[in-house]
Amino acid sequence: MKITDLLKKDGISINASAADQNAVIDALIELHEKVGNLNNASAFKKAILAREEKGSTAIGMGIAVPHAKSFAVANPGLSAMTVPAGVDYKSLDGNPSKLFFMIAAPDTAADTHLEVLSKLMTLLMDQAFASKLIAAKTPEEFLSIIDAKEAEKDKEEAAKKAGSAPAASTTPKKLLGVTACPTGIAHTFMAAEALELKAKEMGLSIKVEKDGSAGAKDVLTASEIAEADAIIIACDKNIDMGRFDGKEVIITSTKEAIHNPEDLINKAVKGETKSYKHTGAIAKASDDSNETVGRKLYKHLMNGVSHMLPFVIGGGILIAIAFLLDDYSIDPSNFGSNTPVAAWFKTIGGVAFGFMLPILAGFIAQSIADRPGLAVGFVGGALASTGATFAAPGGNIPSAFLGALVAGFAAGYIVLFLERICDKLPQALEGIKPVLIYPLCGILVIGLVMCAINPIVGALNAWITGILEGMGTGSIVALGVLLGAMMATDMGGPLNKAAYVFGTAALASQSETGYMIMAAVMVGGMVPPIAIALATIFFKNKFTPAERKSGPVNFIMGLCFITEGAIPFAAADPIRVIPSLMVGSGLAGALSMVFRCTLMAPHGGIFVFPVVGNVAMYLVALLAGSAAGCLMLGILKKKVDD
């Protein structure tokens, strides 16, 4: 694929005029629309503006490269515009921008276009090439300049691979570099090219690893790192620094590499570096101080949710298979494990499900405190699952999903606190911090924290159960609303568990009212995943591409009475998702009571429908509640850009 495969003649505007930055963005988006690259121009503009908020994409030298990776992109492509008079695009060097390329990348797994885009970024570092493009008189001339330069670049690359490229002058210093930016499309490759071009100009040699969106290119080998005298780390995102332990490094940003490559190389050659000591963390070269507190917390939360999701899906589907293969008539109270095959599937699924809370808490902590936080978070999540306290054996009460969230954030900040304290320790103890001090002290402290959290949740659980028991059956409909809504509130947490335990206890009465309570509880727990699945289909613009892909799996989860399938979606946007699901589940519980539906089994979902009393109206209650939850999600959730 060539650059001109992504840039069409109709996507180029020559000698244009624009009043300001916003006018430039609108014009470039219009060019993308003209050649059919977008399926939602408004959403794509939001993605472009969101990228600009993180830092201007005007890299200086009269060039700006606005870009975004978004679901709103139908086909990967480029649009280009020259504005000889210049536009204030908040350039890093303070000068007006005259040459613009807008990159539209789809948010899919297909990244074949990224290599072409990275090549364009490196070509733009040649100021003579950029000047020719600005001076082009027609789109045809613009494209021919790109074709000629690309052919020249390809010839150079082929010569390098063949070993016939002229070698740079030898130097007593062996230099390496790593560049990376959040999107891995533009600045990663421009920073690398700036370092390579300046090194060549100075008669030096440097190999730069580019950590791009399509994966790392020119990866540094262990032997190269071992032999290197200095390494320039120019990154705007987290990278694994463990391989550079003990090496002389310069940690900076892609901005510095693009604009001051000579200064960085001179510092590396003169030995103005620092010896890097790895503490188990994933070091970050960029400065994220401009991020809001809410945004940082959200990123930490989503790191936990994204790692938890495979356990929820894999374990949930295996449990569903267990119900499908089991024989309900053998022992209704043990449904899912009555036959050996069903028990085998349920055991495996249960083990996978058992990792859900430790994974959630562990990776929240890892996002906050990097690798040292992982073990502490895992233990905190496990304690939330087991409910360990100072109580006597048998007195432990799990805090479940809510407790795991608390454990994850607490673990991360506990480790950060320990790191700050340990900064004052002697240098000789540096090596034992990540293997002894952080895990030992961190796990001990998180254990104490969870001993405080679990009893609080236990008291909440007992209080809620008391309220339910006090209601009795005086208001069947109100009880149905309350039980259904509770099942959707924290999905495995104290409210959910209180409602479920109340429902199973009601079975002991062996009365119609008791069976009606259990039916309301189960239908309330089935609604949240189904409502989520429906919403990802009918309100696609309210969910990210990753959420839309995993959404349909929740049909299976919901039908199997696995409410936890909705947890990743609730965790990502609790303020809007949880109330929506509570409305749907509350309605389903109320209708189940109104229709006097009954259930004598404590679990099973759709697989125990043959023994549900008034099953037709039970389905109506399930569908009505799911539709209501879906509609509420469509109303309350905000549109997403990518």
Distance of alpha carbon 299 from alpha carbon 188, whole angstroms: 22
For residues 494-515, one letter each, b for 16 or more C-beta atoms within 10 angstroms of the residue's C-beta and e for the rest, the string is bbbbbbbbbbbbbbeeeeeebb
Q: What is the CA radius of gyration of the chain?
A: 29
Distance of alpha carbon 149 from alpha carbon 131, whole angstroms: 13
* The Cα angle at residue 488 between residues 482 and 491, in degrees rounded to 5: 130
- What 3-state DSSP class applies to 202? coil
Q: Which residue has the tokens 């990097």?
A: 370
Distance of alpha carbon 329 from alpha carbon 611, whole angstroms: 10
Q: Kindly state the helix (H) or strand (E) to which residue 234 belongs, with its residue range.
A: strand 230-235
How many residues in the chain? 642
- What 3-state DSSP class applies to 284? strand
Active site residue 307: no
Give Cα 266 distance to the centre of its chain: 38
The one catalytic residue among 32, 67, 113, 603: 67
CB 270 within 8 A of CB 216: no
Distance of alpha carbon 213 from alpha carbon 181, whole angstroms: 9
Q: Where are the alpha helices (DSSP H) in 109-186?
A: 114-123, 127-135, 139-162
Sign of CA pseudo-dihedral 274, 275, 276, 277: negative
The one catalytic residue among 181, 560, 597, 630: 181
Closest CA to 273 of 240, 305, 244: 244
Which residues neighbour 533 within 8 Å (Cβ) at sequence distance 6 or greater?
551, 552, 553, 554, 555, 558
Distance of alpha carbon 169 from alpha carbon 147, whole angstroms: 30
Distance of alpha carbon 19 from alpha carbon 89, whole angstroms: 10
- Token reading at 557: 């989860």
Sign of CA pseudo-dihedral 341, 342, 345, 347: negative
- Token reading at 3: 């650059």
Q: Kindly state the helix (H) or strand (E) to which residue 307 belongs, with its residue range.
A: helix 293-325
Active site residue 422: no
Distance of alpha carbon 640 from alpha carbon 569, whole angstroms: 14
Strand partners, 64: 58, 100
Distance of alpha carbon 179 from alpha carbon 239, whole angstroms: 10
Catalytic residues, by residue number, are 67, 181
